[in-house]
Every structure is written in structure tokens, then in C-alpha cells.
Amino acid sequence: MITITQLEYIVAIDDCRHFAAAAERCFVTQPTLSMQVKKLEEDLGVLIFDRSRHPVEPTELGARLIGQARIVISSTRRINEMINEDKQEATGLLRVGIIPTLAPYLLPALVGHYARRHPLVRVEVEELVSREIIRRLKRESLDAGIFVTPYRDERIVECPVFYEEMLLYAHPGHELLERESIRPADLSPWKMWMLGKGHCFRDQVLNLCEKASNQEGELPFDFESNSLETLMKIVDREGGFTIIPELAALEMPREKREQVRSFAAYTPVREVSVIHSNHYVKKKLIALLVEELKAIVPAGMLRKERGVVVEWQHVKNKHEDHKDKE
């Protein structure tokens, strides 16, 4: 008979691609895990893993079985969640991924706030790039992501929470700060400091500028950062400008805000959502996460109509309707 424990073991091996690491994750010894997986293979009469490969890989049939195992495990967990919801209890583990351009500005307020209001919930948070969050949600190794949408994947459910303005941050004395109004058309990606590839905020900036990203550089040196804070410090020292999210500006001392400008004609914003797989495990805990996020951001950010959402998956014109106004 197949057991849930055996299914959890093969999922762990698939995630870790290493028997010892999978055993550690499941809090069992490697011989115990290996014995249970071998028994499962013998009972089914199939080989789930190709042990000759390093790292270990599932066979073609094994990959399909592991995919079904993830669904079974998710459904089993959902039973416990339904019981907790019926009892109106907020308890259990919530595994959350958050993108790096949100983590420094949301986590310090969110983690303590959530823990104090829901002491029976244990929250595990990882800072991950967008595509890794999606990958882990689909593999059921995350319960939710704090993420920029729209993403448009039928296997992912999006719960929009707030709308954050995209702002210009420039070196003191930069010519852009002297203009009465700033338009996206005034920006050139090859003249600004940018986040590295893999960050959805970088792609949003490219969408906002409607420019290709492979132009010749006109900056002191070629550099792409994984940190907004690093970009702003480089702007302060080396000149130039960058684009930052509104939450980063709210963290600044008053004198630094003199280097920040909004765009004229319309307000470009990014839509920040809580996302989860369409299996919707841990419904109550995810709903509470949405609620607590709304409680810690300024009320004005909750309104979608405050600006025009800039997408990030493809470089496409999101402010075409506003050109005449510029």
C-alpha cells in the first residue's frame, strides 16, 4: 500500500536531487528514506529514480508519478486546513517567497506584525527572484509568494494587494531633477543604473522606457546590481539615475527625497499581489497574509486607479494611450 510518507520522500528527493539532503529535509536517516523509496518502487513494479545519474534524476515515468504525488500531498494537507478553517483557527506553517525589490521594505514590518497577531502560525520566508517563486509554487515547496503581477498563468492564482508607484531617483544636480516634468520618453536604459537580469522590476523599467536593453553604455563603468540600495548608493557617488519603487522612497530621510521625482502625465505603478497555486492549500493563512499586508502599507496604495500598471513579462507599451498627453 502506498503511504503519504513514501510520497513525501520521493517529492523531497526530486526537490533536493540527493538522497542524503532529502532525508535531512524529512528528518529521517538516509537508510530509512532509501528503504521506503525502494519498497515503493518494488510495490509499484517501476523504477522512480535513475540512481546512476549525479545528481539523481527521476525516470520519465517517475517524473509523472512525482507530479501526481505532489497533488495527493497537497490534497491531504488541504483536509487539515479545512478542519482548521471550520474551527476558525489560524495555525500551522506558512512558507512564503518574496522578491528582492519588496523584501527590505515589507518584511521588517510584516513578520513581527503577523507573528504577534497570529502566534500559532509559523512563517518561513525566503527572498527569491520571480521565476524561482513560480517554480516552487508549482512544485508545492512554497505556499504563497509576494510577487509583482499580472503574471497570467492558469496554475497560479493572483490576489492583488497594493499598487506601488515607480519613481525616478537621480544624483543631486542631475538635469532631470531640474525639469518641470519628467516623461518615460526622457529615460534611456543605457544611461541609467539598472538591476540585473532576472529581476521583474528591471523588466518593468524597460517596459516603461520602451527601449531595447542592448545599447552602448554611457556610464562610468558597466554594472548591474541585485540590490536597489546598491544602485542608489552608486547614483549618489557616480552620478546618473535609476528607477525605484515607492516603498524605497518612503524609507528615505527627508533630505534624500529631494532626489526623487514622480512622472508627469500619468503614474506608472507596479501591482503587488499574494499568489498561490490553484490547488489553494492553506486558504485561511494566505487570506490572513493578504490582510496583514494591506494593514502595513499606506492606505493610498490600495487603490488600483491611482496609476497605470506596468507589466514585466514582455517589453511592451503600457502607456500608449497616454502619449498624446505627454
User: Residue 215: what pLDDT?
Assistant: 45
Q: Looking at the domain 90-163+271-308, which fold is it?
A: D-Maltodextrin-Binding Protein; domain 2 (3.40.190)
Measured CA to CA, the distance from residue 161 to residue 39 in angstroms comes to 46
* Per-residue pLDDT reduced to its tens digit, 61-80: 999 999 999 888 877 877 77
Using an 8 Å Cβ cutoff, are 121 and 113 in contact? no
Q: Looking at the domain 164-268, which fold is it?
A: D-Maltodextrin-Binding Protein; domain 2 (3.40.190)
Residue 9: how many CA atoms within 13 Å on its side-chain side?
A: 25
From residue 210, alpha-carbon distances to 170, 181, 185, 203, 315 in Å are: 20, 18, 8, 10, 7
* Per-residue pLDDT reduced to its tens digit, 274-310: 999 887 668 888 999 999 999 999 999 999 999 999 8
Measured CA to CA, the distance from residue 183 to residue 145 in angstroms comes to 32
* Per-residue pLDDT reduced to its tens digit, 191-205: 788 888 878 888 888
CB atoms inside a 10 Å sphere around CB 204: 26
* Preceding omega of 55 cis (within 30 degrees of 0): yes
45's CB contacts (< 8 A; 6+ apart) are none
Measured CA to CA, the distance from residue 224 to residue 258 in angstroms comes to 24
User: Residue 212: what pLDDT?
Assistant: 37
The arrangement of secondary structure in 4-84, i.e. its CATH architecture, is Orthogonal Bundle (1.10)
Share of the chain above pLDDT 70, in %: 87
| Predicted TM-score (pTM) of this structure | 0.71
Q: Any idea where the domains of the chain sit in the sequence?
A: 4-84, 90-163+271-308, 164-268
> What does pLDDT average to over the chain?
84
4-84 and 90-163+271-308: same fold?
A: no
User: Residue 200: what pLDDT?
Assistant: 85
Task: For residue 59, name the pLDDT band (cuts at 50, 70, 90).
Answer: very high
